Amino acid sequence: MVTATRTSFREAKEVAIPRAVARPRPAVVRAIARLETKKLLTSPAFLAGFGLVGVFVFLSVGGAMFASGDGSRSGLRMDVVFVVGAGIGLIAGAMLGANAAALRTRRDRLGELFGSLPAPPETRTVAIVSAVLTGPVALSCMVAIVAYPVLRGVADADTRDHIDIALLAQIPLAVLFFGSQGVALARWIRHPAVAPTVLIAYVMTGLIWVVPLIAERSSGIRMGWHYAYLLSAIVLWVSLALAGDRRQLRAFGVPVIALATVIASASFQVPPGGLV
């Protein structure tokens, strides 16, 4: 029994396709990223996440705004609802769409085919993360540009100064945060239900309030540490996604450093006494 098992493992190792040792080539990554961007923006997972969450925000936030019956600024308030819905919808769509894109190889049973290619396994991971940048993140930058005059138009004199580039720049970073998280989840837990579960848990457990991704200065948050938290968290998810391609011990050096930075910056960003 032991001899037969040992022989089967030896035969499987001999006929297995060896993994490439080269690093991803920029030209190959760009070519795949162009295709992945189109697939990501038109995928049912991205459109469902973007549409359903956007409609939910429109119905909940919009209903609360118009419940007072004040119609003097209804058009401007409608713009605010659309901006908020588009921003949150892009966050959900980026995570679900990137997760579905990273799971496509397993879903379509193309792992052996991709393993026979000369490109290293990290190539597709880098390309999918690049597609998140050129797709949902680029769209979120447009939302942030539109949001600046809209939000300042409805803000009063006390809060208008807090609506600045430092606040709106967090929208694309939040989209990249969830998009890279979706890729990392697909590399380590290869099931399509994981990403929606994590997204719902992030909102329903209150983690979104304990460690906010988007916060304004008036909350008392330390913006420098807050940006350090966002950037280190993105590095953590991207490095974890890349580590999932080879699963070697040396691939965990960057994720460990990034995780330590995430914990430290998340703690330091909250001032004594908590956020307002």
Judged on CB neighbours under 10 Å (0-12, 13-18, 19+), 217 is middle
Residue 273 is predicted with a pLDDT of 64
DSSP tag of 232: H
Rounded to the nearest integer, the mean pLDDT of the chain is 80
Under the banding of pLDDT at 50, 70 and 90, the label for residue 73 is very low
Query: Residue 198 belongs to what domain range?
Result: 23-205
In a domain, 239, yes or no: no
In a domain, 259, yes or no: no
In a domain, 139, yes or no: yes
The pLDDT tens digits of the residues spanning 133-182 come to: 999 999 999 988 887 777 766 665 555 666 778 788 899 999 999 999 99
In a domain, 88, yes or no: yes
Structurally, how many domains does the chain consist of? 1
Run of H or E residues at 255 = helix 253-268
| pTM of the complete model | 0.81
In a domain, 171, yes or no: yes
In a domain, 35, yes or no: yes
Residue pair 199/178 in contact (Cβ under 8 Å)? The answer is yes
In a domain, 7, yes or no: no
pLDDT greater than 50 at residue 63: yes
pLDDT greater than 90 at residue 202: no
In a domain, 230, yes or no: no
Residue pair 217/260 in contact (Cβ under 8 Å)? The answer is no
The CA-based angle 206-210-214, given to 5 degrees, is 100
